Structures are given as C-alpha cells and as structure tokens.
Structure 1
Amino acid sequence: MRNLNLLHVVTAVASNCAKEKVTHEEGLVAHIDTGIMFVKSGELSSPGHLPACKHTLIPKKLLLGIRPPAQSRRLNLTHDAVGQSATVKELQQTKEERAEVSQSNVVTLGSQRQRNKGRDEGHFAQMHSQQQTDQEVFNWTKQWYPIASEMDLDHAIPHSMMLLGKKLVLWRDGEEQWHCFEDACPHRKVPLSEGRVEEGELQCGYHGWRFGGDGRPTFIPQLRSVDEKAEQNACSSSRSCAPAYPTQVQQGLIWVWAESGGSAFLESTQRQPCLNPLKQSTPAEQFTSSYINYIRDLPGGFQEWIENMTDQSHVSWAHHSAAGNRHGPKQGYFKAISVEEKSGSDGGFEFVFDWTANSKTVNEETTFEFVPPVYSGFTVKGGRFCLWIYAVPVSESCTRLIINAGGNFPKPKPAPGLAGLKARLSPQPLIRTLLRRLRWAPHLQLNAVNDGDIVFMHQQTHNNRVALGTDFKGHYYTPGGSDRGVMAWRKWLAEKGSGGPDYENSTCGEAYRADSGRLDRRALLDRYTQHTANCKACSQALKQVQLARRAFAGVGAGALLALVAFLGRGSALLTAGPVISLAAAALGAAAFAQLQKLEAQFVFTDWVNHEK
C-alpha cells in the first residue's frame, strides 16, 4: 500500500506502531494521516516512542528500484483478515479529529526540539514540506481495475485471476452478483479457484468449506457432523473468513478494488471506475462497436505497455502488414502538437499529435489521454470515434490489455426508391454486420497487431529493470517530437506515480530461460493461453474450425480411397467416378490446408519482424 512519496514505508497506524517489529532499511521516517512513524535499525516506533537520534527523510524518487521485504509490503494494520475491526467511526474520522492527531504529534515532538531546537525545527519543516508533496502521490491500491469480461466467463464456476501480483478468485453467487476473494482458503491455504460454486456459494474443493459473498464461512462439514456449536464459533471467527475485495460490473467489464477489508468497501464507494466517456454518453442505438472487450495477457511490464501506447510512431514499422505500412509515402510521419498535464495525483495527461499509419489513411489529429491507473484513450478529431485500452498490471512481467473501439454513428435513414434498395444490398454494411456477429474475426486482427509488439516489450522490460532507478531522460535518447508522449508518461510516473505500482509477489523474468535469459518465442506469442482459452467467442470458433478440419480431412481421405477403388476395378481415369473422387480429394485437401492456417491464428503464429 503506497500513500507516500517514500521508499515503501511500512503501512501502520501510529497507535499500533510500537507493537510491530519490521526489518527494513535503517533511518526511514514517514508521515501517515493518523500520526508519524519512524523506522530505525529494524524497529517500528510511534511518535510517543521517538528514538533520540537523527532521522532523515528519504524521498522515494531517489531510491527507485530498492524493494522492501515482501512481508513489509503486505502489512496492513487498519483491519484484520476481512477488515471487521475497522469501524465506520474510524473510517469516517473528521478533519478536526485528524487535526487533533496532527497537533498531538507536534506536542510529542516538542520535547525533542527542546534538546536541539535548531535541528528539529528544520527537520519538522522538512517533514511538513514532504507531507504536502505526499498529497500529490498516486495511490495504486485504492483504485478500481478491470480484470475480466463478463460475457467471456462461465458463470457456474470460480475463476483464477491475478492483479498486482495478488492471486484472486472471481465467482458469481445465486443472486447473480460477482465476488472477488483472495485465492487461498483460510483453512489450509489451498486455491479456492479449484473449487466450485455450490448453492450460490463458493465451496473449497479440498475440504468442502463454503463461503458467502462477504467472505464468511457458512458451512464447515468436518464440524457440523460432530458439533454444530463448534461450527458456529468457527464461522464467527475472523480467522475463518476469506479476504473479500469490492467488485462491480460496468460496460461489460468486472472491476475489482485493489484492497480488501471493511475499509476498502467504504473507500471504494468514493471513487468510480474510469469508463470511456464517448460510449457512456452515446445512446446504445447510435454507438457502433468495432472491438468489444478484447482481452489478452501479454509479456512485458505495465510501464512499458503504457509507454508503447503513448508512441504511435512505431505503428508503421512494428505493425507492418498488420496495421501499418513502412513503405508508404508518409511512413514515419508524426507531428507532436501539445502535451497537457492534469492537476492532482489522480490527473494524468493528454498528448495531441498528427500522424498517419499507412498510405491509405490521411493525416489524423488524434488526442491520447492517460487517466490513472490504467486507462489510455485515443480520440480522433471531432470526437466521433475512440479506441480505448486498459493496461492492467497483472504481475511485474505480465500486463493484461483490454481493448475496445467504437463511435457515435447514427444509422442513416434509408433513401427512397431504387437508391435505398441499392444501399441496403451493398456488400459493405453486410460485411460489417457479419463481422459484428463473428466477434472472433476482429480478435484475430488484434492478435496480429499485438504480436508485433510482444517481443519488443518483453525485452525492453528486461533492459529497463536492469537500469531501474536511472533518470529516463538519460536512459533514453529521444530527440524527436514523437517521443513527447513517452517522456510525459515517464515524468508522470516519477513525479506522481511513485515509479509504478508495487506487486504482491516478484514474478519478473517468468518468460525467460532460467539459465541464459533467451526468449522463448512460443511462450511469448502463445495466443491460445494469452487469449483464446479465456475468450468465449474465440474458443468456440476454434472448436468449430478443428471440427471442420477433421471433417475435410475425412472427405479427402474418403475421396482418395474411392479413387483407388475405381482405378483398381480398371476404370478409366477420366470417367465420372474417378474424376469426382479426384475433385473431392483436391477440395478436401485445399479446405484442410486453409482451416489448418486458420486454426494456427487461434493458437500460435510466429511474428518475425524482418520477414514482414
């Protein structure tokens, strides 16, 4: 949990500070809204237990790349496993009460200032200045994140998910409400995602414990069969509860708040998910979608994928033949117009530019908008069409892209007479209607587009992690205006984003070979695991393609056998029987080959940039 512009200082309330011992770097000091805590020689102490030694503020931006032990990042003393100890009164503390706490801290520090007035007055002023800065730091965990498309999930089973390195389980109850828990049964820490949904509740597959939507157990079979009172006592214990995360559905996506517990459910009501404003404001009958919640888990860091989206000058080169054309008359054309930073830690930035991706498109003034934590939107001048992408940080080395596109295109009134009939019979609207019904078809196009970036993003993530903590103005050489969006993102990340989110578990390098660090291209470009297996439209289409391929293989084999039989009886090759058999065999072989190519587009297609 990161509220401060400091180096991963342990989250704790002042009243509990003296009770905890946390190993950490020596000499860290931090402000929190309920007090001040100091870390010295591995000990955490409250202002009332202020050690008589010098304390130095260490800004986070000076120490990027240094990570605390996992247990300190996970410590949260504001609530227990399900947050039941965090009372509404505590969570709704008024500004006056906060001011009283702050004043008490000043009094506590007073005695120390008497020992060395000059030193401590300067130190207190420094802490106050840092507190002002801390208010501008973005908190990555107190946010809504989209993690799944509702239309693509089987509502009858639990689903394993990951967000910020946290292993989660997503499931729907009998009242058609989605819930998200930590994916570990409180009993013996086995994954709840391997269980089932039974009678509208989540049941652990290991011992049969059942949980309601609030995370509390409702059934412990090993106790109920022996002592129902013991079961009641166990079910009422906070230790038996599964940590629950706030969840909601918006624009077809399931959103999860990145913190659990009672305080999280209250805090999550004060903020709304970042939705696309064009779709939100356009009547459904006027909004035409090109892509609807296409999701793919891609190797590469969250920072690198956002950076990739701020830079559209790469499209002609990295996506040649899929979305760009490096041989076009204006290949590489890109004119930066303006960059505007939004105020406050929750404000991102806008980058306006003029560009063309290939010879078929005219120069289009486009506005790129980043809204933290994960929204990137592209709006063409005039505001009638928008492409928006959520880049969700799954782990340190994996990012989930959720892509949508569409615009406000009211259906024109049909022209009267022959002209209207001709327009209705035109192939273009028929093709568009067919593509909307075949949701998997544009997904194959997006798979090809993403393939052009994956190898670059994967290796760039590795290179940047090696150089983590450096000034990106010195790390990158960016002489052109096309990189203004990139540097605006890196500037926001350093000044407001604390260098990026923390992750529950370190998973960096999972797609590398353990011994040599070489890229495994089949793992990097694995379309089936990254997309098809989790997309209802594509998984169903793949099954149909495989079924058709086997059918045409059978047709071809049968036709060849028939041809052999005809020839074996002495029939002439050009008679009806052999000719029909030969034609059927050729048709079967051709169809088989085409279906085999189509099947590969759902599973794995290598993308070698220099061969495109």
Structure 2
Amino acid sequence: MTTYNNLQSEKCDTNVELAPEEELFQWKKQWYPVAVVDFLDSSRPHGMQLLGKDIVLWRDGSGKWCCFEDACPHRLVPLSEGRVEADGTLLCAYHAWRFDSQGNCVNIPQTKDKQTEAKHCSNPKSCAVVYPTQEKQGLLWVWAESGSQALVESQLKAPRILPELENQSDKVIKLFWNFRDLPYGWDFFMENVADPAHVPVSHHGIVGNRYKDPRYYDMIGLRQMSTQEGFSYEVTPTAANIKQSIADFQPPCHMRIVSTFEDGGQMILALYATPTRPGWCRHIGCQVLVKNHENKTPPGLGFFALPMPIWLGHILASIFLHQDMVFLHYQEKALAQKQNDRWLDAVYTPNPQDKMVIAFRNWLEKRAGGNIDWASEYNVQLPAPETDKQKLFDVWGTHTQHCSVCQDALKNINRLTILSFVAAVICGFLGVIIDARAVATQVAVASLEQTSASALIIPPLAFWCLLIGAILFTATGYLLKKLSRLFYVYEFEHARND
C-alpha cells in the first residue's frame, strides 16, 4: 500500500532540487537574533554561542551593542569574563588589555613604555574578532561572519523583521518579547512550529483540549519553495472564528504564523530560533495583535495575551515551552541514532497535517546542505539525553541568569518573602505579648473580685487580629517562595496534566 508519506516524499523531492543558477543556502551569511536588548544588563559582557562559535555581547560608551569572538587575542581567555569599563571599552580581566567597539586594542598596561604599547596595539594580531551587529525592533542581530568582507555583505541584506512593527500604527499591539535557550536543535524547533497538529494535544489546557480538538485538516502550499526565502502553507479548514491561518518559514531563523479572524483582526506569532550549538537553540518570540477595522483587539495565545508584568510572562512561559520540550529533547536523540536513515525514511507521516514538516525537512536536505554549517573547529556532536528532569527543566540557566528583568523581579520577590516572614514573626510576637498582658490583667481582676480566673481568660480582639496577620503573612511568604522557584526550575509531566 502506498502511503501519503511516500507520495509526499516523491512530490517534495521533485520540487526542492536546486535550479542550476541557485546557490546552496549559506548559513554564515545571515543575520541572527541573539538577544532582546531591553533584557540585557548593559554594565557587563554576555557570553553566548552562534553556530557553534563562542561570542560575547557588550555595549560600548556610545550605547552601541557590539559582538566579538569570545577570546582575547593575547591568550585566548574568554572576554565574557571581563568587564565593561567606565570609558566604554571592554577589559579582559586576565591581563587588563582593553578593546574599543571596533575591536582595536587600545591599552596593554604591561608594556615597557607608551611608544612600545602603541606599536603593539597597532599590530592586527592585537585586535579582537568583530562580528557586525544591528538593533532592530528591540532585538540584537548578529551577522555570523567576521571581517571586512562580512561587513560589506551584511549591509546588503536585511534581517527577518516584522513589517507590522515598522508601520507604527495604533492598530498594532506588540506584546512582550520572551527568550529561552532550549535543549534541542534549531531544526527540531522549526519542525515543531511547522506542525499545528500537536498544539491542542501537547498544549492541552492552555491552547485546546487533547480529547476534543484534534481533527483532520489539510495544509496547502501558498508560496513556492525558495532556497533563500523558504515557503509557506495554509491550514484548511480552520476553527470557526478564524478566516485564514498561514505558517510562513523564512530562513534562517524565522517562523511567522498569522491567524486572520472572521472580523478582520489578526494574531501574529513571531517565532525566532537561532542555532547556538548542536542540540541547543535560542528561541526569541512575541505576539503581535492587529486590531480590525472596528478597532477591536483580537484574542491572543491563551492567557499570555492578558496584561501582566514582563517577568511574570517570562516565568509562565515555562508552562507552555516545557510541554513540548520533553518530547523534542528526546526525539532529536532518537532520530540521531538512526544515522543511516533519511528523515523521511525514519518516520511515518501518513496524514496531510505533516506536509509542512516534510517540506521543511526537504528544504534542509536539498537546499541547505542537510545540516547547519557549524564553526569548523567545533566538535559537531549531540550531547547525551538528559535523564535528570531537574536539569532538563532548568529555567535559571536557560533564561533567568541572562535576563535583567527577571533578575530584578526575583530580587524584589525575595525581599518581599523575607519581609513577609519577618512580619509574621512580629505579629506572632506581639500577639503573644498582648495575650499575656490580657491574661495577667484578667487574673488580677479575678483575684480582686475573688472569682474564677479560668472562666474569664478570653484573648482580646487585638490578639486575634495579630494572629490572623501572622497567618496571612506566613501564607504570603510561602506563596512568594513557591513563585520564586519558577525562576529556577519548572518540572512538567503530561501524565499529571489533566
């Protein structure tokens, strides 16, 4: 029996072959979003990875964010362990060499004299390796190649920004950016977001119901596959209140999902994934809501469209992200074990809901070399599957320690936690004193009146108020402590998600 998988494989294979004039997709000649500018601490350098290359992000004295290779040219120690100085230079904390935003070494303090220092600083070997950067729509973008030629090439290409945010229309509402380092590869992220069929099942309770909402639908190709521009698919039929739903893959890092409602409003999911190292990617995303002609705001994605502080949106995102993380982390490792199998031969995809996933895998195989072009010196090997769920569902290392907004919120929550427990102790202490005084007073009165004191010892109203206060402050401290844990880890099991 011929399956849909085989038919679609043959069909896609004939559509994705490179035309003679087309070049293979160039992974390193691209702009990648690496950070949300507002969430970066500008007082210090930030180390991360891009295509397997260690890089460091830092802001100079003029307010410009820069990107260097994370290695001091002196002895190759990480510049991310250095400091941003008051004069706007980046200092290597090993021997105090300093660099300006162009990568030029401007100070080597161990040199014999100023003349010798100037000679050493003018040597190209003293320069840091610089990558072009730009800020667009609140994101810091990095070009994945360095050098003068890379600077020229980067200026000829635009990053994958959101056109709606360029219009500055009052009908466009951009919700908060979020980011997370995810323990699975860029390709598995893109495959996942190209698959709307998983949404009501994996994200049961947030977006849909696993028992009622899975249904048959088709995916219709809208934009012809292109090496440089990707492709797009439309879901049909859609939900009753949605007129059209389109998923648009724009390489190297953007998936744009647009839901147009019957009343004309739109919800746009802007999803980015930057390949950092094998088995990992950095996801940056936001929702954009476009009002209809009657100025009505459309619904967003679950409760994430509700008004809330940015830090709360960040930690609640774990509830959503970890629901399919637990699949994708292990799925990637399982498919890697089938080293001799093509992706299409290793899986079974009989229904049309997988059309876009199949198209993506064919684009990657036929148009982009079959894999990411990692840094040449990088050992391209997947990490082992993580069996410790505490580590797999780590939030601190994959988000909080890199987000200044969440770090500030965590500090404030910890302060409030301490104050709550201190207030509980004070209320309890004062309650005991007041109760003791009331008891002593009532005993004295009973003694004078020669009546039984035991029948008269009733705690005063102030005692009960303080007791209730102590209980409320204790409960508040406990809940704040529970809330603070979400900044560190959020474990999830589908078996418990009723």
TM-score range (shorter-chain normalised) is 0.7 to 0.9
- 1:221 and 2:109 are equivalent in the alignment: yes
Code of the residue aligned with 2:284 in structure 1: it is I
Unaligned runs of 5+ in 2: 1-16, 440-456
Aligned 1:106-505 pairs, distance under 5 A: 133=20, 135-198=22-85, 199-223=87-111, 226-280=112-166, 282-290=167-175, 292-328=176-212, 331-340=213-222, 342-354=224-236, 362=241, 365-381=244-260, 384-409=266-291, 436=307, 438-504=309-375, 505=378
| Identical amino acids, percent of aligned pairs | 33
Q: What SS is found at the alignment partner of 2:360?
A: helix
Q: What SS is found at the alignment partner of 2:379?
A: coil
Q: Is the 8 A contact 1:323 1:449 kept in 2?
A: no
Shift of 1:399: 0.9
Name the counterpart of 1:595: 480
Name the counterpart of 2:407: 539
Per-residue CA distance 1:327-361 (angstroms, 9 max, x = gap) = 43xx202412302453542020101114779xxx8
Match of 1:548 among 416, 425, 437: 416
> In 2, distance between residues paired with 1:385 and 1:611?
30
Code of the residue aligned with 2:373 in structure 1: it is D
Report the TM-score, using the length of structure 1 for normalisation. 0.69
Shift of 1:518: 5.0
Code of the residue aligned with 1:337 in structure 2: it is M
Shift of 1:566: 4.2
Q: What SS is found at the alignment partner of 2:142?
A: strand
Q: Tell me how many residue pairs correspond in the alignment.
A: 453
Code of the residue aligned with 2:275 in structure 1: it is P
**Residues 1:383 and 1:466: Cα distance change in structure 2 (over 3 Å):** farther
Name the counterpart of 1:65: none
Match of 1:506 among 340, 362, 379: 379
> In 1, distance between residues paired with 2:30 and 2:265?
27
Report the TM-score, using the length of structure 2 for normalisation. 0.84
> In 1, distance between residues paired with 2:241 and 2:19?
47
Name the counterpart of 1:44: none
Shift of 1:436: 4.9
Q: Is the 8 A contact 1:285 1:410 kept in 2?
A: no
Name the counterpart of 1:525: 393
Aligned 1:569-588 pairs, distance under 5 A: 569=437, 571=439, 572-588=457-473
**Residues 1:131 and 1:348: Cα distance change in structure 2 (over 3 Å):** closer
Q: Is the 8 A contact 2:255 2:270 kept in 1?
A: yes
Code of the residue aligned with 2:35 in structure 1: it is A
> In 2, distance between residues paired with 1:548 and 1:507?
45
Worse overlay, 368-377 or 463-472: 463-472
**Residues 1:411 and 1:206: Cα distance change in structure 2 (over 3 Å):** farther
Shift of 1:538: 2.2
Shift of 1:459: 0.5
Per-residue CA distance 1:381-418 (angstroms, 9 max, x = gap) = 3573211110110111111110111122279789xxxx
**Residues 1:518 and 1:155: Cα distance change in structure 2 (over 3 Å):** closer
Shift of 1:590: 2.2
Per-residue CA distance 1:478-537 (angstroms, 9 max, x = gap) = 111111111111011111011121223237454x4xxxx552211111112212222233
> In 1, distance between residues paired with 2:336 and 2:207?
29
Q: Is the 8 A contact 1:341 1:347 kept in 2?
A: no
Q: Is the 8 A contact 1:278 1:407 kept in 2?
A: no
> In 2, distance between residues paired with 1:474 and 1:132?
25
> In 1, distance between residues paired with 2:59 and 2:292?
36
Unaligned runs of 5+ in 1: 1-129, 415-427
> In 2, distance between residues paired with 1:244 and 1:171?
12
Name the counterpart of 2:7: none
Worse overlay, 363-372 or 566-575: 566-575
Q: RMSD of aligned C-alpha atoms?
A: 2.7
**Residues 1:529 and 1:378: Cα distance change in structure 2 (over 3 Å):** same
Shift of 1:443: 2.3
Worse overlay, 551-560 or 252-261: 551-560
Per-residue CA distance 1:89-125 (angstroms, 9 max, x = gap) = xxxxxxxxxxxxxxxxxxxxxxxxxxxxxxxxxxxxx
Name the structure, 1 or 2, with higher relative contact order (CA <8 Å, separation 6+).
Answer: 2
Shift of 1:608: 0.7
> In 2, distance between residues paired with 1:273 and 1:482?
29
Code of the residue aligned with 1:439 in structure 2: it is I
Q: Is the 8 A contact 1:158 1:171 kept in 2?
A: yes
- 1:564 and 2:432 are equivalent in the alignment: yes
Worse overlay, 589-598 or 267-276: 589-598
> In 1, distance between residues paired with 2:496 and 2:164?
39
Name the counterpart of 1:604: 489
Q: What SS is found at the alignment partner of 2:217?
A: strand
Shift of 1:442: 2.5
